Amino acid sequence: MKIVLAYSGGLDTSVILCWLRQNYDAQIIAFCADIGQEEELEGLAEKARQTGAMKCIIEDLREEFARDFVFPMFRAGAIYEGQYFLGTSIARPLIAKQMVEIALAEGADAIAHGATGKGNDQVRFELTAAALAPDLRVIAPWREERFRKQFPGRAEMIAFAEANNIPVAASAAKPYSMDRNLLHISFESGMLEDPWFDASGPSARDMYKLTVSPEEAPDAPEYLELKFHQGNGVAVNGKPLSPLQVMQTLNKLGGKHGIGRVDIVENRFVGIKGRGVYETPGGAILHFAHRQMETLTMDREVMQLRDGLIPKYSALVYNGFWFSPEREALQALVTETQRDVTGLVRLKLYKGNIIVAGRKSPKSLYDAKIATMENSTSSYDQGDATGFIRLNALRLKLRATIHSKTESR
How far, in Å, CA of 194 to CA of 158, rounded? 21
Whether 263 is catalytic is: no
Question: DSSP of 32-70, one letter per residue?
Answer: EEESS-GGGGTTHHHHHHHHT-SEEEEEE-HHHHIIIII
Which helix (H) or strand (E) segment is 187 a member of?
strand 185-188
Q: What is the dihedral of CA 395, 396, 398, 403, to 10 degrees?
A: 140
Whether 12 is catalytic is: yes
How far, in Å, CA of 266 to CA of 276, rounded? 7
How far, in Å, CA of 236 to CA of 344, rounded? 10
Which one is catalytic: 62, 92, 124, 180?
92
Beta-sheet pairing, 343-350 with 353-360: antiparallel
Which one is catalytic: 75, 89, 121, 291?
121
SS3 358: strand
How many other β-carbons are positioned within 10 Å of the β-carbon of residue 169? 12
How many other β-carbons are positioned within 10 Å of the β-carbon of residue 48? 26
Q: List all residues 6 or more positions away from 357 whose beta carbon is below 8 Å from its beta carbon.
A: 223, 346, 347, 348
C-beta separation of 262 from 289 below 8 A = no
Whether 92 is catalytic is: yes
How many other β-carbons are positioned within 10 Å of the β-carbon of residue 392? 9
N-terminal to C-terminal alpha carbon distance within the chain: 82
Which one is catalytic: 177, 180, 306, 359?
177
SS3 345: strand
231-262 b/e (C-beta count within 10 Å ≥ 16 → b): bbbbbbeeeebebbbbbbbbbebbbebbbbbb
Beta-sheet pairing, 2-6 with 177-180: unpaired
Which one is catalytic: 8, 12, 186, 340?
12
Which helix (H) or strand (E) segment is 133 a member of?
none
Q: Which residues are catalytic?
A: 12, 92, 121, 177
